[in-house]
Chain A
Amino acid sequence: MAIPIEMPKLSDTMEEGVLSAWLADEGDEVSAGDVIAQVETDKATMDLEAFDDGVLLRKLIGEGDAVPIGELIAVLGEEGEDISDLIDDGSADGGGDAAEEEAPAADTDESAAADAGVEEPAGDGQLRERTPDPVPAGTDAEGRRIKASPLARRLAEEHGVDLSAVTGSGPEGRIVRADVEARIEEIEAGEVETEVPAEPEPDAQPEPPEPPVEEEPAYAMPDDIETDRPATAGDGAPYESEGISQMRKTISRRLAQSKFTAPHFYLTVDIDAARLMEVRAELNEKSQAQDGPKISPNDLITKASALALREHPFVNASYLAEEGEIRKHNRIHVGIAVAIDEGLITPVIRDADRKGLSQIAAETRELATRARNRELQPEEFEGATFTTSNLGMFGIEDFTAIINPPNAAILAIGEVRDTPVVEDGEVVPGKRMKMTLSCDHRVVDGAVGAQFLQTLRSFLEEPMNLLL
């Protein structure tokens, strides 16, 4: 089998080597360790040894030629072996000829011609026929850097806008936020048009598609960009169509990504909520006496989760495949899933472990209201390190939630229910609440998740611990 011999790296700073002398001829038998050539580096002239036994089948460069590290300079193998798969004929002949004939002038011409071929000179129609490569993000079709502000770049990425199709209005043609937003509107207007049925409904008045009215900047909230297509709720219509809003697209993309890439497993606990409800009633009496906010069981769970996360850093973590790391977050930001008309969003209580219950209650209330009014700023719903979702108010006893990436876990909270429980051998009325932790097994193992729930349970069953 033919063995390629390449220009070796003979010093730390060497980038190319000059083959100063061949010490073996084509057809010579060489053994591993034989010196077959001398190479002049940027520092010294050094011996080039063969690493294998065989016949020197072909020299590809002539004496005095300079080639970069790694370039094929010779081929070793068995007598008569076909080496055409290692070398293409033109260069092999050229190199071989040069080596044999020691005709540097001819060699120069040959390599110059080869270089020119690789360079794809402008105006070479043949080369232009190849299918164009996909344009890498941030460059235009000619590979030039597109000037765009970081914000514009982020917006474009979030909305799938191709920056090379956007005209920049900033200095030196820089693409800025306004340009990307205008492009998003154009695209959305375009989508509306293409979605209009080609054949109008019988009897339907032909209505021009209305462009979506977009007051808020699209980045401010995953927005409901409903198509304004007229509903076709006519008698007998087999279905009604609704465009997919940006928010639904976002939910679809993120949750599918989560469920497909994060191996979920689920841990459920049924906790004694009696003390929790008592303490909450006491707290509310005091809070209301001071005109403070009303504290909900959910606020207590937010606080308890945050404190439990402090003790279990692997639950307050992210598996970041691209970065090649598991990131344990030093700060604890609890996202709280809030249902809004178009879908859901998770406003974030930052540093929830360091906030008091009244502050958590007040912030949660305010963020939820603003979420419903679609007034949240990105920094108010981004950056959660853990998320909770509560469907107790709908009478849901327990459920499993999909992890909100890049979190490592999400807590699904069921209703507080009255139920008979056994205490000291007696059946008595009790209060229970089920909670299910969905864990990303890449970060959280079963025991870790269970220990977290144990800590969480201890806080909720003895809520005075929350105050310590």
Chain B
Amino acid sequence: MELQLREAIRAAMTEEMERDEDIFLIGEEVAEYNGAYKVSQGMLDQFGASRVVDTPISELGFAGLGIGAAMNGLRPIVEFMTFNFSFVAFDQVINNAPNMQYMSGGQFTVPIVFRGPNGSAGQLGATHSNSTEALYSNFPGLKVIAPSNPDDAKGLLKSAIRDDDPVVFLESEQMYGLKGDVSEDEDYLLPIGQARIAREGSDVTLIGHSKMYHVAMEAADHLSEQGYEAEVIDPRTIKPLDTETIVRSVMKTNRLVVVDESNPFSSVASEVTHQVQDRAFDYLDAPVARVTAPDTPAPYAPNLMDAYVPAADNVVDAAKRVLYVQ
């Protein structure tokens, strides 16, 4: 069945909530307004106000409420209108949710999903254009997922909801309308921590998650026109990262370009680069290249924004650099 990304996410939540009464959705505008981006459209009507809950503008409060509910046996889905606002709830997300099981000696688990759009989405200004995957994947105890298409989003969100650990599920405002075939299986569970080789190639490996996956695929098409076959890997899960798949690909192609919308310092790209040099050093024929946003706040002007967000041309350039053809 063809669904938009927002519909696939809704399908995942709806199916899981039908299956398990302990699951509820909470966040700003999720109920009466049907979701700021219409992800939760119709869910209030179906499940009622006790399971689809509007909150005040109080991220720290409702994230903490979710964690408390999870500790007491429920399985909350906490929607951040965007992950920029999750910073207000930072202490709950990075300190309480991932550490509770450890600090309680296993007495409490926190089966919670924090979800919402992440990353830039056009002219939103610096404070509303943050990419948070590197940040959240730095904290032990949090799983971080960032799918690139509706089918993966459904399968991985269902897995995230059923997972007993806290999961940060990163969506993309610009991809909510992206259509794709989605499994209708009620138990469609994609394993967390498994990358997908989206395109096979022998000359260079490109890695990109979420929006950047599509940039990598576009770059692979351009490279193919120029006679270079790129292998494209969508990690799908940022943490735990499927290093095995990445390393095997690099052993084959001997070259790697990591595409990551984050700012470069301590980014996901940094970590991938480290893992690869550590585990595939003797297979590298060129330094690993990264294509990321620059180390600056996101601009507002459209021309500057175009220059800011990684694009296929940047990836092609980086790939040719590691192929020694420039």
Contact = CB atoms under 8 A, between A and B. Distances in A.
Interface of A: 149-154, 169-171, 176-178, 377-379
Interface residues of B, number: 11
B283 interface: yes
Nearest to A157: B282
A171 B324 contact: yes
A151 B282 contact: yes
B137 to A, nearest CB: 24
A377 B251 contact: yes
B281 A150 contact: yes
Contacts of B284: 149-151
B251 A152 contact: no
B172 interface: no
B285 A151 contact: yes
A100 to B, nearest CB: 59
Given A150-B283, A150-B284, A153-B282, A177 B254 contact: yes
B252 A151 contact: no
Contact of A150 (B248, B252, B282, B324): B282
A386 B286 CA distance: 32
A151 B324 contact: no
B252 A177 contact: no
A176 B251 contact: no
A169 B323 CA distance: 12
B7 to A, nearest CB: 35
Nearest to A153: B282
A379 B251 contact: yes
Nearest to A176: B285
Contacts of A377: 251-252
A269 to B, nearest CB: 35
Contacts of A149: 284-286
A171 B284 CA distance: 15
Contacts of B285: 149-152, 176-177
Chain A interface, DSSP helix/strand/loop, else mixed: helix
A201 to B, nearest CB: 44
A171 B287 CA distance: 11
Contacts of B252: 377, 379
Decide if the interface of chain B is mainly helix, strand, loop or mixed: helix
Contacts of A170: 286, 324
Contacts of B281: 150
Interface of B: 248, 251-252, 254, 281-286, 324
B254 A378 contact: no
Nearest to A151: B285
Query: Which residue, B281, B282, B284, has most C-beta atoms of chain A within 10 A?
Result: B282
Contacts of A169: 324
Contacts of A379: 248, 251-252
A171 B324 CA distance: 8
A149 B255 CA distance: 11
Given A150-B282, A154-B282, A177-B285, 13 more contacts: A149-B284, A149-B286, A150-B284, A151-B254, A151-B282, A151-B285, A152-B285, A154-B283, A170-B324, A176-B324, A377-B252, A379-B248, A379-B251
Contacts of A177: 254, 285
A149 B282 CA distance: 8
Contacts of B286: 149, 170, 176
A153 B285 CA distance: 9
Contacts of B324: 169-171, 176, 178
17 contacts: A150-B282, A150-B283, A150-B284, A151-B254, A151-B282, A151-B283, A152-B285, A154-B282, A154-B283, A169-B324, A170-B324, A176-B286, A176-B324, A177-B254, A177-B285, A377-B252, A378-B251
A170 B251 CA distance: 20
A151 B281 CA distance: 8
A232 B286 CA distance: 45
A378 B285 CA distance: 15
Nearest to B280: A150
A47 B263 CA distance: 59
A260 to B, nearest CB: 25
A379 B244 CA distance: 12
A259 to B, nearest CB: 26
Contacts of B282: 150-151, 153-154
A150 B282 CA distance: 5
Contacts of A151: 254, 282-285
A266 B111 CA distance: 54
Nearest to B326: A171
Contacts of A152: 285
Contacts of B248: 379
Nearest to B244: A350
Nearest to B283: A151
A48 B67 CA distance: 68
Contacts of A171: 324
Contacts of B251: 377-379
A178 B286 CA distance: 12
Contacts of A178: 324
Contacts of A153: 282
A89 to B, nearest CB: 51
Nearest to A170: B324
A375 to B, nearest CB: 12
A170 B248 CA distance: 24
A425 to B, nearest CB: 55
Nearest to A382: B251
Nearest to B247: A379
Residue of B282, B283, B285 with most partner-chain A CB within 10 A? B285
A150 B283 CA distance: 6
A178 B254 CA distance: 12
A213 to B, nearest CB: 20
Nearest to A178: B324
Nearest to B324: A170
A259 B281 CA distance: 30
